[in-house]
Structure 1
Amino acid sequence: EVITLSGGVGECYRNQPADPFCFSDIGPLLATALHEHPRLREMNVQFPAQTVRATVIGAGAHTLSLSGSTIWLEDVQLPLRNLPVAIPQDDADLVNAWRQALLQLDL
């Protein structure tokens, strides 16, 4: 069996950045968590030869453009910045959710 990691998370898994928030998303944190996971360390992790080396936020910011002719917004200044995209969770709840997900995936 082979596990493949690609994109920004895969790149951060191979070359962990000194600043885990350098891309303004959780890609480096996820890569670190995967890198430190004892079960994943036992698996055959490989990396595709060609990938988009960007985390989701980075890829979206790099590829998104608006022409202005396909949308209609009234009294809105674009781009909208610094909008929260996640609701902060209690640490214990988050840890329990991750454990539950790992059990479901048999990891």
Structure 2
Amino acid sequence: MPLRTRGTPHPNMRYTTAANWQVFVYPKIRPGNDDFFTLSHDLVSSPYWPSTGADTSWGDARLQDCAKRQRAKAGGGTEWRAWATSHHLAVVTSRLTALGRP
């Protein structure tokens, strides 16, 4: 884990999978929050990325946009949390529908 910083957070994502959360935290190397582009690319390329991809949720579509650098800016802590929450709610809803449990 990178050392804590004051002000803006390190690029990070807590990403829900069927049984766990995957936690991605990247150090700040590039200007602004551009390191989140790298984080999102790594997430989209990882085995944790769902087979439904960007269609999983609104948040996953934003993450894919970042991974492909189709956004001018990578967002910040508020956006990252919203994208992760959108994904989390989609996963839980899907599991409730299919299995009757989260």
TM-score by length of 1: 0.29
More strand by share: 2
Larger gyration radius, structure 1 or structure 2 = 1
Higher RCO (CA < 8 A, seq sep 6+): 1
TM-score by length of 2: 0.30
